[in-house]
Chain A
C-alpha cells in the first residue's frame, strides 16, 4: 500500500517569496491534516480536512497561509509571503475513519522549508 506522498522534499526561498507544498494522501482516506514542525518541537496542527471541507483551521495563520483540497483527494498548502519564522518541516497526514477514538494517522516524510 502506497503511503502519504509529499513534494517537494526540500525548499529554500527568501523571505517575502511564496511557496506551495503538495500532498497526496493514502487512497480512500477521507481526512487530511497539515502539520508544522519547528526544529526541536513536536508537530503542530495547521489545518484538518474532511473530504474537501475544512474541519479545523483554528491554528492556521490565515493572513499568509492557505490550503485547499479540491475534489477531496490531494491537497496544497501555500505560504504567501513567507517569513523567517516559517522555516520548518511541513507534514501531511491522512486517516481512514471519519471519527472515533481508534483513528490512526499516517504521515508523509514532510517538506523541509528554509526561509532566508
Chain B
C-alpha cells in the first residue's frame, strides 16, 4: 500500500488560505489521492480526490505535482469551522476491497 506523510499539526489565520501538504512518493499510476477531514466528535467527511489533474470543488482545491509524488490541499478562506484533522489517503486499487487506509493526519487549527 502506498503510504502518505503529513505534518502533525498546522495553524492558519482565519480568512487566510490553508495549504496542507502530503507526500506519497510510492503512489502507483492507478491510485487516486483522497482527502478527508474529521471534526471533533464526528466521523470523517469527504473533501476531494484526484488522479493527475488539479481538482476544485465547493470545499477545496487539490494540487497534485506532475510526478504525483506529492499533493497540497488548499482551503482558500479558512474559517473556525475548518479546524479539524485532515487525512491524505492514497486509495488501494484492490478488486472488491475499496476501504480507505487512514494515517494520523494533520491537525489544522484555524486561529481567530
How far is B44's CA from A108's CA once the two chains are assembled, in angstroms?
A: 8
User: Closest CB-CB distance, B41 to chain A, in whole Å?
Assistant: 7
Across the interface, do B93 and A101 meet the contact criterion of CB distance under 8 Å? yes
Chain A residues whose CB sits within 8 angstroms of the CB of B104 once the complex forms: 40-42
Across the interface, do B99 and A107 meet the contact criterion of CB distance under 8 Å? no
Across the interface, do B99 and A50 meet the contact criterion of CB distance under 8 Å? no
**For A50, A103, A108, which residue has the most chain B Cβ atoms within 10 angstroms?**
A103
**B interface residues, how many (CB within 8 angstroms):** 26
The residue from A31, A42, A55 contacting B103, defined by CB atoms under 8 A apart: A42
Across the interface, do A105 and B97 meet the contact criterion of CB distance under 8 Å? no
How far is B49's CA from A56's CA once the two chains are assembled, in angstroms?
A: 23
Chain B residues whose CB sits within 8 angstroms of the CB of A64 once the complex forms: none
Chain A 41-67, CB-CB to B under 8 Å as 1, else 0, gives 111110010100001100000000000
Chain B residues whose CB sits within 8 angstroms of the CB of A108 once the complex forms: 43
How far is B29's CA from A34's CA once the two chains are assembled, in angstroms?
A: 28
Verify if B91 is at the interface (C-beta below 8 Å from A): yes
B contact patch SS: loop
The residue from A50, A93, A106 contacting B96, defined by CB atoms under 8 A apart: A50
Q: A43-B102, A44-B102 are in contact. List 7 more A-B contacts (CB 8 A).
A: A31-B98, A45-B101, A48-B97, A93-B44, A99-B96, A101-B32, A105-B46
Residues of B within 8 A of A (CB): 30-32, 36, 41-46, 49, 51, 87, 91, 93, 95-105
For this complex, 27 residue pairs linking A to B, each with C-beta atoms less than 8 Å apart, are: A4-B43, A33-B99, A40-B104, A42-B102, A42-B103, A42-B104, A43-B102, A45-B100, A45-B101, A48-B97, A48-B99, A50-B96, A55-B96, A55-B97, A56-B99, A91-B44, A95-B98, A99-B95, A100-B98, A101-B30, A101-B31, A101-B32, A104-B46, A104-B49, A105-B46, A107-B43, A109-B42
